Amino acid sequence: MEGSNLPPPVSPQPSIGESGKLRSALDLLNIAKILALIVGIFSFLGAAWSGVSIAYGDYSVIFWVGYYVISGIINLLLYSRIPEYENLVRSRRYSEAKDDMITWSVLGVVFGFLAGLILLIVIFMYLEELERGAPAYQPPQPPPY
């Protein structure tokens, strides 16, 4: 049996005022995703560079090696989570996106600054406004028997 020819599910169309804010929020999430990847990669490079200093006997950089490794891990995890946030925003589940993003944005500010800061901007500028103006999310109804 071949796959069905049904079109993919389409999220409800945003209202006129909502569409610009929605597009801006999604664009900022894409920028945060790129920055999280770049900061994650540079954090691991910084850890390797500091590790070379340790190899030459400079043990005063041990703290920075740990910070860079943790920063790299958090930024790469943030990079992998942003597509989930984009899906939540596209499906108008703003409160879920906001609740989950707040933790990662704080960690992002502490360990990567730019990506976390952009997530905070998305949360407080765009998702708050979108949440106030959008209808509540309703999960799809199960098919009748």
Shortest CA distance to 17 belongs to which of 136, 137, 134, 135?
A: 134
Confidence of residue 42 (pLDDT cuts 50, 70, 90): very high
pLDDT of residue 1: 47
When pLDDT is averaged across residues 40-45 and rounded to a whole number, the result is: 94
| All residues at 6 or more sequence positions from 21 whose CB lies less than 8 Å from its CB, including other chains | 126, 129, 130
Burial class (CB in 10 A: 0-12, 13-18, 19+), 41: middle
When pLDDT is averaged across residues 6-25 and rounded to a whole number, the result is: 63
Question: What type of residue sits at position 47?
Answer: A
pLDDT of residue 102: 84
Which ranges of 4-144 does DSSP label H, i.e. alpha helix?
Answer: 16-55, 62-90, 94-111, 114-121, 128-133
pLDDT at 96 over 80: yes
Q: What is the pLDDT of residues 115-141, one digit of tens each?
A: 788 888 888 788 888 877 766 556 678
pLDDT of residue 14: 52
Confidence of residue 2 (pLDDT cuts 50, 70, 90): low
